[in-house]
């Protein structure tokens, strides 16, 4: 009887664990193999940044705090929903952080977490969705939006963030490997 009870409780615990994973922040990363020294990889990474992430609005890049071989930056892209029209509160920007880690023979780039900030100049103020999660509904439903609308907006932003991140990483990797 105890064994049966134990076996029945395992799927329930696994199901609950899978639901909590959907609240993790959306992070996209890629690793590149480049047959160069760390200094050469850093130089190429800065050149690749200028041609990819550096062209995004509000982009900044600088050395990571007290870490050699690492760069940290941030940027954002503007968002306006294609599905929900007439809601200027939800349009705004999606900001993200970028971490570049160079080593001898390689480079790893991580983008995220993504954060939505609503239009502050809207008549009723901005509607923020906050941190964009990997899946599921919004962590907290913003005031003025139904659960269905918030989930739809979050899915739209999530898709756009993944497309934008994948494109930037693909172009960054190509420029990193080809060099000047």
Beta bridge partners of residue 109, listed in sequence order: 30, 100
The reply to whether CATH 3.30.530 applies to domain 24-178 is: yes
Residue 123: the pLDDT is: 61
- Count of C-beta atoms within a 10 Å radius of residue 41: 23
In angstroms, the CA 179 to CA 165 distance is 21
* pLDDT computed for residue 80 by the predictor: 77
Q: pTM for this one?
A: 0.78
Cα→Cα distances 113→30, 131, 161, 177, Å: 15, 7, 10, 26
What was the pLDDT predicted at 60? 86
Tell me, what's the pLDDT at 20? Answer: 45
Q: What is the pLDDT of residue 95?
A: 92
Residue carrying the six token digits 């009887």: 1
pLDDT tens, residue order, the chain (180 aa): 444 444 443 343 333 333 445 678 889 999 999 999 999 999 999 999 999 998 888 888 888 776 778 899 999 998 877 776 666 656 788 999 999 999 999 999 999 899 888 776 666 666 777 888 888 777 666 777 777 877 888 888 899 999 999 999 999 999 998 866
Report residue 47 as tokens.
């050149």
Per-domain residue ranges for the chain? 24-178
- On whether the CB atoms of residues 38 and 102 are closer than 8 A, the answer is yes
Exposed/middle/buried for 152, CB within 10 Å: 0-12, 13-18, 19+?
A: middle
> Residues 15, 138: contact at Cβ < 8 Å?
no
Residue 135: what pLDDT? 81
């Amino acid at each position: 009887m105890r064994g049966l009870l134990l076996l029945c409780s395992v799927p329930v615990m696994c199901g609950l664990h899978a639901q909590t994973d959907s609240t993790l922040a959306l992070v996209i990363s890629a690793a590149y193999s480049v047959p160069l020294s760390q200094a050469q990889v850093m130089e190429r990474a800065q050149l690749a940044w200028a041609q990819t992430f550096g062209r995004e609005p509000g982009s900044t890049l600088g050395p990571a705090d007290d870490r050699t071989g690492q760069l940290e930056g941030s940027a954002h892209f503007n968002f306006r929903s294609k599905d929900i029209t007439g809601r200027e509160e939800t349009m705004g920007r999606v900001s993200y952080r970028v971490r570049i880690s160079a080593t001898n023979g390689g480079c790893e780039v991580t983008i995220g977490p993504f954060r939505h900030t609503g239009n502050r100049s809207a008549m009723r103020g901005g509607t923020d969705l906050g941190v964009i999660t990997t899946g599921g509904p919004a962590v907290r439903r913003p005031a003025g939006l139904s659960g269905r609308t918030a989930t739809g907006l979050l899915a739209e932003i999530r898709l756009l963030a993944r497309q934008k991140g994948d494109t930037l990483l693909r172009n960054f990797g190509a420029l990193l490997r080809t060099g000047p």
